[in-house]
Structures are given as C-alpha cells and as structure tokens.
A and B are shown apart, each in its own frame.
Chain A
C-alpha cells in the first residue's frame, strides 16, 4: 500500500509542509493548474489539471489500480475530492483524524479521531481509502524538498455551473476550524456591534471569530462563524467565550479545545463548568483590558 498526500492551490503551504512531514508519504497529489508547492520527501507526484473537485476524485479513482491511502487537510475542497474518490473506488473515507500511524509490516494505517464533540475517541484501521486530517494535529516540518517524478492527468471538463464572481468580503475572516485561537461571542455581547472589539482581540491573538447559534439566528454574524452541534466543530489551542451561556449544543462544537476561557456576568452559566479559566465580569471591560495589554 502507498500513501499519497493531497494538496491544491488553496491549501496553506506551511500547513501542507507540516502535514507531509507528519505523514511521511510515498507520493503527493496536486489538484489544479500550475503547481508551486515544495513536495517534501516524495518520489512521485500526480498532477490532476482540474478545477472540479468531483471530477478530480473520479480521475484519481480511475488512475490508481493499487491499494492507496490518500491523506488531505480538513478544508471543504479537499473533502469534496476525497468524497468523490471514496465512492468512485468503494473505499472508506475517515475525516477529522488527529492520529495517524502507518505500520509497514501489516500494511495498515491506524487512525484516531474524536466524535460527537470530543465525547468519544475512535481508533480504527484501514488498508486503503482516504483520510481527512485535522489541521490542528499536524506537527512542524523537517523533511527536505525533492524533485519527484510527475504523472499528469487531464481532468479539465465543463461544469454544470457558471461562476459570476467571488462575493466581496466573504474571505476577510480567518476560518474557525483551522485557527489556533477562536474568540467567540454569544447573546451576552448585546448586538452585532459587539463583534467589532471581538475581531480586534482575535486579530491580536492571530485567531478567528466564532459565535453561538443564538446570535447567528439573530443575524448578528454570518453562519460560517457558528460553532456548535449545528455549526462547526473546533478544537483550537485557546477558545474564548464572551457572553456565551454554554448550552450543550454549543459545547458539542468546542469542548475539545485545549484551553477554554469563559467571560460571563452570570456565575451560574454552564460554560463555567467546562472552562479552564473564567472571569465573572462584564465582557466589555475584560475585552478592553485584554486588547490593551
């Protein structure tokens, strides 16, 4: 069985380098047009010239006639490619992994992943298929770049949709799932304007802005920021909850964070039951002090 790492033009180069160091793959797969990544330590590079995730997955399924495990990062485009490969080849896909162990003797890969908001830890084994790796779990890079032999696959084809434009401002904020620090706001921040100082603190900590379902439902911030059972699951190094009560639905999306900080005026708010550090105080006062230190 061979292990290939998958990358595309919208992946973060540094994150890719850390993943390829962590996994120690035989080969790499590049999806897209011109390729400008350093492929660390791999012997073989497969280049799929395509902008379609679905067609790329199918192309890869047609290409491989041996047992292969493809490992990608946890962005949505990678997920689409791996899902397409998985069903085209009838091989499994395991997403959200944070542990990867390849035992060359028995030719299997042992994976670990958390499920249900971090309440359960699964250990599983596959001999072929796809793995979507939790970008929080990859280590630093030490492998050297090299010039692999390149196989090109032409995946260019028409798609069933016509792109008009990227929507302005949609990419201004860091994605909550890949950020090391997430600063979240709930009903306690009193209105959409409350997110402005939260963005300042997130910027200072090089983090992303999250939100509870209640404030997303009220239209204070875009759905892409929602954390919880019906939003995104995050596991940052630091999660800061401003004015969030900590309902179980919210906790399901963040309780796997390494360090949890809660700021709330209500000492009985359930968020204090699961935090490492908390301050019972007005969120604005804490935020102002934190930004100014």
Chain B
C-alpha cells in the first residue's frame, strides 16, 4: 500500500507581518513543522510497516520547506516531493487541494494522511477537499488508531461525534498529534534519508481553472487589529467581590 503524507512548514511564531494582499510574509520568520504533521508521518510509517507498504512524503511551499522534508523523510519515508512554483504563491484551498490530489494520482497513492489543522490557518478543510477531488471519503480529526493493518480502526469526528470506524477503502485521514508519538531518527536513518524531489505545476495534471485563485476571491482590505483592554487587576482573594461586580456590569 502506498501512503501519501502531507506536511507543512509553518511560522514558529505568532509575530507575523503581512503583504498588501494579506498573504503572510514567511521569509522573515523562523519556521517549524506543523505539529500534527509529524504525527501524521509517524502514523503512516507504522501503517506501512505493518502491511509492507511505503510512505511518500510531500509538501508545498518555499525553498526552505526542503529542509523539513529531509528531517521528516529520515523517519522512514521511501520518497519525498517538494512542490514549489511561483504560480502557487498565495494558493487557496482549491489550488492546494488540486496540487495534492494530482500528486496522489501521480504516485498511485491508496491513502492520504495529513494533519487535522495547520498552526497558521484554522480552516482544516484541505483533507475533505482532496478527498472530494479523488472521489474518496475523508475521516477527519482522527484522534487515535487501534489497528494498524491495511484496514485500520480509527476514532474520528463523524458529524460532530467521536466515532469508531474501520477504514475499508481509499480514504483521506486528517489526524491530531495524539495518533502517534513521532520517532527520532538515528544517524544512519538521517544519512540514508531520501533526497526531496522538486516538482513544478507543469509536472502535475492540474485543472487550469484551479490555479486561477486570484479570480475567485478579491481581498479588498487588510487591517492590523489592536484591541484595547481594560486591564483592571486586583491583588488577593479579598477583592473578589469588586471583580465580580465589574463582571456583572459586563452582563456576566
């Protein structure tokens, strides 16, 4: 079984600056691996180990993301792909989902695993979008996996309820970091890690319309927000009634 795992490099800080079009300036901030994604890689490796499968790791983003692929690839991935293309600067959900769905087809993946959310974007919609393009189902917010066979038993969020289910066909799984503790690769694993292979948009079979993201949504304005706080602070439990009176005035 071939499992495609998606990872994202995210800013390691919330102190961000933004360009005129509202896109984050990622060049000037330290970066880290999205926390859920490390566990996604570990889960994929454990599943692949139990069914003699292979893990293919992929990311989309600027040059610096290649370092992340090398680090994660050393955990036990068979190959790594880095999709990087100026045509994808500021890519939206539709464009990003089309890139990864096309890549899943290119590598003949039978399962896609990714983090349930990205630290720099709270949408959490990408896994469902990829599943839709592939004609698969999506099991979102997987919090644990009980059986690492080719038909894994997972606990996921189904219609707002934590639900146990057996995965019986090609699916996209979005996972929380609780699914598996990421391993730390040893020196030999680091030395034999697969080299990331670069892919451009032209290497993938992508619907042209999907890449026209600037036509879909026009950003009219981006404003920095600074909320003024009352900052009224009391010392000691004896001031509780003063505190409670103020809260009552606020309607609580």
Contact = CB atoms under 8 A, between A and B. Distances in A.
A115 to B, nearest CB: 7
Contacts of B221: 121-123
Interface stretch (A88-96, A137-145, A148-156, A188-196): A88-96
Nearest to A52: B137
Interface residues of B, number: 89
Contact of B220 (A9, A110, A163, A255): A110
B202 interface: no
Given A116-B14, A121-B222, A170 B161 contact: yes
Given A80-B140, A276-B232, 19 more contacts: A54-B128, A82-B125, A87-B98, A87-B132, A90-B209, A95-B123, A110-B220, A116-B14, A119-B225, A121-B222, A122-B222, A123-B221, A160-B137, A161-B165, A205-B252, A232-B122, A272-B231, A275-B233, A281-B237
A31 B17 CA distance: 40
Given A91-B94, A122-B22, A267-B235, A161 B225 contact: no
Contacts of B222: 120-123
A57 B176 CA distance: 24
A76 B142 CA distance: 13
Contacts of A256: 227
Name, among A53, A88, A171, A261, the residue most crowded by chain B CB atoms within 10 Å (CB to CB).
A53
B15 A166 contact: no
B137 A161 contact: yes
Contact of A121 (B119, B126, B223, B229): B223
Contacts of B94: 86-87, 90-93
A278 B232 contact: yes
A277 B169 CA distance: 52
B125 A77 contact: no
Interface string B4-31: 0000000001111010001010000000
10 contacts: A10-B159, A10-B160, A77-B160, A82-B125, A84-B132, A87-B132, A120-B223, A223-B178, A238-B250, A278-B231
Contacts, number: 263
Contacts of B93: 83, 86-87, 92-93
B186 interface: no
Interface stretch (A13-21, A22-30, A36-44, A282-290): A282-290
A233 B122 contact: yes
Nearest to B96: A87
Contact of A229 (B119, B125, B234): B119
Contact of A83 (B132, B168, B216): B132
B163 A118 contact: no
| Contact count band on A | 35 or more
Interface in B84-98: 92-94, 97-98
B237 A279 contact: yes
A209 interface: no
A96 B125 CA distance: 12
B138 A126 contact: no
Interface string A236-253: 011000000000110110
Interface string B119-139: 110111110111111001111
Contacts of B160: 10, 75-77, 171, 175
A254 to B, nearest CB: 12
B124 A79 contact: yes
B24 to A, nearest CB: 8
Contacts of B219: 122-124
Contacts of B163: 163-167
